[in-house]
Amino acid sequence: MANPTYAVSDTPIPEAELVDTLGDGTKVKRRIPRMRACSEKDEKGKLCAGHLKRWYFFGEEVRLKFGPEAEIYRCEHCKTLYLPNPQEEPRTRTLSY
């Protein structure tokens, strides 16, 4: 059986935009829709791909820039912070009873 040929897409691959850099060098990015893994690349160009987890206990600098009740996600490997995508519905208190 021959290898299937795949169609080449004209649409570019979306990238998480850099929003800010904190004083300690931590990057803050905006998530792309349905994003679950980190898209940060290291100095060799290798993709981090760490799972993004909701982060509640952020420091004072993040609290001042984005608010005390901000919806912040953090990569479990490289510690890059991600803000939610404005096109998606907020996930805050989605399982609240």
- Position 34 scores a pLDDT of 87
Please state the pTM of the whole predicted model: 0.80
- Position 92 scores a pLDDT of 63
Q: According to DSSP H, which parts of the chain are helical?
A: 60-66
- Position 1 scores a pLDDT of 61
The residues near 20 (Cβ < 8 Å, ≥ 6 apart) are 27, 28, 65
In the chain, which stretches have pLDDT less than 70? Answer: 1-2, 91-97
The residues near 17 (Cβ < 8 Å, ≥ 6 apart) are 29, 30
**pLDDT tens-digit map of 79-92:** 999 999 888 877 66
